[in-house]
Structure 1
């Protein structure tokens, strides 16, 4: 029996490798041409130390100088000793370049274009080799705008097991990809992207979750919810989705479908425009309640435009909110990611 291991590198590149029964992570990586740094294969040097974010494994044998008992209890592993017993996500303490690898290129054709409103558009790609693409829910790719050498970054809005991969974009007049979709794209058009990329992705669920989405920053959460619906969760999950205007409020039907499939998932939407007729007006911070925070025993995921992300972070600092873990990602309206996620709090 084999398992899929997601290797997450320091520069945001993620590569998936197949780990055969009895193999170590280092064995699987080297077989795929990925050179995880190591100076021994005996658990003695600690050079290949990483962190397992999810999955079951046998940590193997090693000396305390390479990996202490305290580190092992937190989830740190040695790639030369770790033998997976399920699919796993492992953070590698090196860049993809150092490991002689990089983001993969995937090619396909546009299979659907849906104009959700005057300000939002969704589209899907059917890949030439769907089995070759693995990604973690929440990650993004760099899509090449057809007819140009320009690439723009967009998060998957579909789950990792969807037959076609989908994306949610703000339909701006200045954005290269939205302009192409609006003016020239047709179903069947060839398109390619590099990835997956990014450290903003769903970790193993160990406590309640609070999702905060701004505008098309909803996309990675739709992918996360697809995964949670398939796997289940023993912990409550609440999402607050904020937009600027009524026209920006899209894909609510998918949130309703997720709520029907996930027993402990709830959500609330809000519109900042004071002229909106929507029942909840104002910004996301207005609707963060004490009950969503579990006295800090909560993991917070935040994705939206820079002003919204900065406002939420300032709100939390001002009110002394210290979640167990805080992951966030900013994006520009052009589709360029301007900051990757960070984790604060650090509870495993």
Structure 2
């Protein structure tokens, strides 16, 4: 059984199957709505049901409250139709022409970046084209049918290489293999590109505020490479938070960027500093709001731990930054990913 789905304000209409989420239907028809985790745990895809009714699916109560459901809101990555639907959502035009593919890849290089972080460089077959926007992610497809999502940490290149930053998760099936058994020339299958975390071109006058925790630096790195390649002149403020100082990586590259681009400002922050750490300590949310108590003029890009992403987004809005200028990618635990 199928229903009709209409997206406002664009007026795009399409069929949607009874067991298909709103997001899946939109993507199938070539219309990109804001989304990230696809598992109901980040709220990037939250939008309003203008008419019709839905099965809300499995959602985290923190991401979609009872009051929000009563007000007509749903998570489009989870909600499936019970009737014909009309929804309100801002389509993301920049990703509309990018095809989501399932491709094989070969592990070209494995590089240790930090004590518990490795970079995987995946080689795409030369016969395949893979277009993506810096900041998007791919899902590694495992043999048992599960998948693991990792952000792309580079810009598109003629070599067909994709860079991923993998943090070792104790007991993690895939990350454990990356750190103990994976070898160069191994074959991995993936699906992508996915997500709508990338630089928006609609408001080029706004300075950029970027915040990352842990390997949330990965998509930010790709975004920065894109900006610098294009000769970006706006002020760019990057805050990167880790627990311990040795968890920082790519420090030489960041120093090079600071020297080469006077408009780039980098602030590293350690939440559990030792006596040797002389930089700023604490949490990046507090540091950002201390430095920019009235952030209303920024475009903000937040990536990393879900608590940081949620808290900083709320605090920025409370301080005057319109939510239309806040873009995020919350890293959720692999078990929450759709199979």
Shorter-chain TM range is 0.5 to 0.7
For residues 253-281 of structure 1, what are the alpha-carbon distances to aligned partners after superposition, in whole Å with 9 as ceiling and x for unaligned? 23223323433111110010143632211
How far residue 326 of structure 1 moved from its aligned partner, in angstroms, is: 0.5
Going from structure 1 to structure 2, the CA distance change for 1:288 and 1:174 (only over 3 Å counts) comes to: same
Q: What SS does the aligned partner of 1:181 have? A: helix
In 2, distance between residues paired with 1:238 and 1:130?
39
Match of 2:121 in 1: 124
Rounded to whole Å, the distance in 2 between the matches of 1:286 and 1:294 is 13
From 102, 105, 112, the equivalent of 2:102 is 105
Q: In the TM superposition, what is the alpha-carbon distance from 1:186 to its structure 2 partner? A: 0.6
In structure 2, how many angstroms separate the alpha carbons of the residues matched to 1:114 and 1:155?
16
Instruction: Name the CA distance, whole Å, in 1 between partners of 2:237 and 2:149.
Output: 26
Match of 2:44 in 1: none
- Tell me if 1:185 matches 2:175: no
Give the paired residue count: 253
> Matched residues in 1 for 2:246 and 2:178: separation?
18
Deviation at 1:337, TM superposition (A): 6.5
Query: Against the structure 1 CA distance between its residues 130 and 221, is the aligned structure 2 distance closer, same or farther, given a 3 Å change threshold?
Result: farther
In the alignment, is the contact (CA less than 8 A) between 1:301 and 1:327 conserved in 2? yes
CA shift digits 1:66-113 (9 cap, x unpaired): xxxxxxxxxxxxxxxxxxxxxxx2659xxxxxxxx9720122210111
Question: 2-side partners of 1:335 and 1:237: how far apart?
Answer: 34
Alignment of 1:316-327 (within 5 A): 316-322=316-322, 325-327=325-327
Determine if the alignment matches structure 1 residue 159 to structure 2 residue 147. Answer: no
CA contact (8 A) 1:229 1:261 kept: no
1:251 aligns with 2:250: yes
Q: Deviations over 1:40-72 (max 9, x none)?
A: xxxxxxxxx98675xxxxxxxxxxxxxxxxxxx
Contact 2:33 2:91 in 1 (8 A): no
Q: Is 1:307 the counterpart of 2:307 in the alignment?
A: yes
User: Which segments of 5 or more consecutive residues in structure 2 lack a partner in the other structure?
Assistant: 1-29, 37-88
Matches within 5 A, 1:48-127: 89=94, 91=96, 103-127=100-124
1:116-155 deviations in Å (ceiling 9; x for gaps)? 222211110111137611101110010124x543210010
Is the alpha carbon distance of 1:312 and 1:277 closer, same or farther for their aligned partners in structure 2, counting shifts above 3 Å? farther
Asked if 1:297 is matched to 2:297, the reply is: yes
Asked whether the 8 Å contact 1:213–1:241 carries over to 2, the reply is yes
**2:264 counterpart of 1:265:** yes
CA distance in 2, matches of 1:227, 1:220: 11
How far apart, in 2, do the equivalents of 1:50 and 1:206 lie? 20
Residues 246 and 274 of structure 1: CA distance in aligned 2, closer, same or farther (over 3 Å) = closer
| Residues 5-41 of structure 1 deviation map (CA, whole Å, 9 limit, x = unaligned) | xx6623759xxxxxxxxxxxxxxxxxxxxxxxxxxxx
Give RMSD over aligned pairs: 3.0
- Kindly indicate whether residue 199 of structure 2 is the aligned counterpart of residue 202 of structure 1: yes
TM-score between both structures, scaled by the size of structure 2: 0.66
- Mapped contact 1:160–1:223 kept (Cα < 8 A): no
Q: Following TM superposition, by how much is the alpha carbon of 1:168 offset from its aligned partner in structure 2, in angstroms?
A: 0.7
Which blocks of at least 5 consecutive residues in structure 1 are unaligned? 1-6, 14-48, 54-88, 93-100, 339-348
Specify the alignment match of 2:225 in structure 1: 226
